[in-house]
Structure 1
Amino acid sequence: MTSSLLLPIGGISFLHLCIAFVGGIFGAAVGALPAFILCGFFVFIGAVLMIAGAGPDFLNTFGFGFTFGPQVCFGAAVVAHMYAHKKGLSPGRDITAGLMGTKSMDVLLIGGLFGSLSVILNWLFITALPMKWGGMLWTDGVAITIFVMHLIGRLLFDMKKGFFGQVAEGESRFNPTEKSTLWLPWQMSWKELFVIGAGVGLLSSYFAMLLGADHGGAIIGFGISGLSLVFLQFGTKMPVTHHISVNAAVAALASHSLIWGLIFGVLSAFAGQFWACLFTIHADTYIDPPAAAIWSVTTISVACAALGLFTAIPLP
């Protein structure tokens, strides 16, 4: 990258911001969920190439890059949905709808602006403020970038019901019923969360330990989970599991244990529902529960590794 394109903040270039701007426009145009499904596809292909020995170049360029990375096209698209809702052009929580249909180009431009912002935020979290703990980054930079962008979007475009939304009379924030607009009605009871968390967590942990971090083991489960959401896009009551699969894989690799991976898979399933109840279920717009679960549970996993808990309590 030529020095004329470098910004004062360091390794981010003006070209990176422009590419991310286009990625944000793309995500807003096609809709946040379709954009994320495409991310899942690219991550899956990247993991397969790593398994075949091709290295991480495809994954870093497409799966988590400046255009199609989830922090760019998905994270920014969700904020564009918030803006479209404020203008009366979108239901707000419907992240399956492509916003090109609003015929409002300022909606797409909001997606572009937040796509560029995602580059800056991600750089801050993983480069400027790495806060390494035991040699590991303290959290998942992509996930916390998405989460922070959504919080900013809520502050800017959807404060009618307050920052955390408004709990309906007679309802409980953390034990909502069908009277509320639920996140995933088929994935909210403790039994449902435990079973899907344990099942996906164990499988993703197995892939992680079988393949290893250098051969796609950490992200193959995430790719499969993200790609599977194509069925949710078309109305199937699919579980949302990418937060479960990636956190389980990270914990399994850090602890060298399938059981620890399973435990963190279950924890991630419950964390997703917790963040949904806190920010999304009682509000008119969407703040992504999986992204919140990924950064928060990753932080717990890193802390457990840094403090020696995985070593002190070895599990199979």
Structure 2
Amino acid sequence: MTSSLLLPIGGISFLHLCIAFVGGLFGAAVGALPAFILCGLFVFIGSVLMIAGAGPDFLNTFGFGFTFGPQACFGAAVVAHMYAHKKGLSPGRDITAGLMGTKSMDVLLVGGLFGALSVILNWIFITVLPWKWGGMLWTDAVALSITIMGIIGRLMFDSKSGLFGKVAEGESRFNPTEKSVLWLPWQMSWKELLVIGFGVGLLSSYFALLLGAEHGGAVIGFGISGLSLVFLQFGTKMPVTHHISAIAAGAALASHSLIWGTIFGIISSFAGQFWACLFTVHADTYIDPPAAAIFSVTTIMVGLAALGLFTAIPLP
């Protein structure tokens, strides 16, 4: 096996499309959230192996690879949930349920097709549009791929909701009440977003600076956050934090600052709720708010870093 098969970058081949197809099919079969939890487990294991000096092969092959990377097994499965909802086989917002239970193999095939699409999208954002600002890629290609696939799926399979859903009479898009189907009712007020953004952002920034990118510091917080969602899968009112931990670690490494990392973790916490209100709360199907937060805040952070923010305002 050559190194080109280990990393989700560079050239793509028919084999890459096939193994990503399997990833999307698998994600649809077990359900989008269980597939993402498995991804979080792989990222955590890969990070621990990097701490032990084993290198990034496990992380790149399993955590962010073509089959079990979140763009394939999770992002594609989200679209399969939309398709199943269109057929009346599954609630559109319930990404915890394995779609194998629908006994409709075309649902799984839709997941597979979007898994293959995830490779193409990821390749476009990294290889065809390889813009770098200050030495950093302009966005998070995985998160942007997941968001784009969600938008495509919404337009294809949820004509009732439309792209942004429909705000109920008397409701506010960005200040919804219990009348709407909220994303995370226990993680939506400014106090809740501030506190969880601060806590997770600080811890993930600390890990990033302590370990360094070469020893898994950039992603171990993401892995822990993703793995923790196993409790959400079984009904615990868990915070969803992988968008916070991912952004905080990236900002901490870019700025060499614990405080800047924490600040961007808080920003991403609020960004997650913003995208939830824009895409998901008022719709019948799910577009992933954390993925939208990761790609958008990454782009802002990279742009500000390129403009010299972290140099102009150095923080400890």
Output the amino acid matched with 2:77.
A
Q: Which runs of 4+ in 1 moved over 3 A?
A: none
CA distance in 1, matches of 2:163, 2:148: 13
SS at match of 2:192: helix
Q: Report deviation, 1:133.
A: 1.3
SS at match of 1:159: coil
Aligned position for 1:193: 193
TM-score with structure 1 length normalisation? 0.97
SS at match of 1:297: helix
Aligned position for 1:258: 258
RMSD: 1.1
Aligned position for 1:315: 315
Aligned position for 1:114: 114
Q: Deviations over 1:181-208 (max 9, x none)?
A: 0000000000000000000000000000
Q: Report deviation, 1:300.
A: 1.1
TM-score with structure 2 length normalisation? 0.97
Output the amino acid matched with 2:86.
K
Q: Report deviation, 1:213.
A: 0.6
Aligned position for 1:246: 246
Aligned position for 1:16: 16
SS at match of 2:139: coil
CA distance in 1, matches of 2:161, 2:289: 18
Question: Which 5+ residue runs of structure 1 have no aligned equivalent?
Answer: none
Aligned position for 1:66: 66
CA distance in 2, matches of 1:167, 1:235: 27
Q: Does 1:284 align with 2:279?
A: no
Question: % of aligned pairs identical?
Answer: 87
Aligned position for 1:128: 128
SS at match of 2:133: coil
Aligned position for 1:148: 148
CA distance in 2, matches of 1:230, 1:76: 19
Aligned position for 1:305: 305
Q: Report deviation, 1:163.
A: 1.2
| Count of residues paired in the alignment | 310
Question: Which 5+ residue runs of structure 2 have no aligned equivalent?
Answer: none
Q: Deviations over 1:155-176 (max 9, x none)?
A: 1000212210000000000000
CA distance in 2, matches of 1:20, 1:68: 8
Output the amino acid matched with 1:25.
L
Aligned position for 1:157: 157
Aligned position for 2:104: 104
Q: Deviations over 1:113-156 (max 9, x none)?
A: 00000000000000111111122110001000000000000010
**1:161-240 correspondence runs (5 A):** 161-240=161-240
Aligned position for 2:27: 27
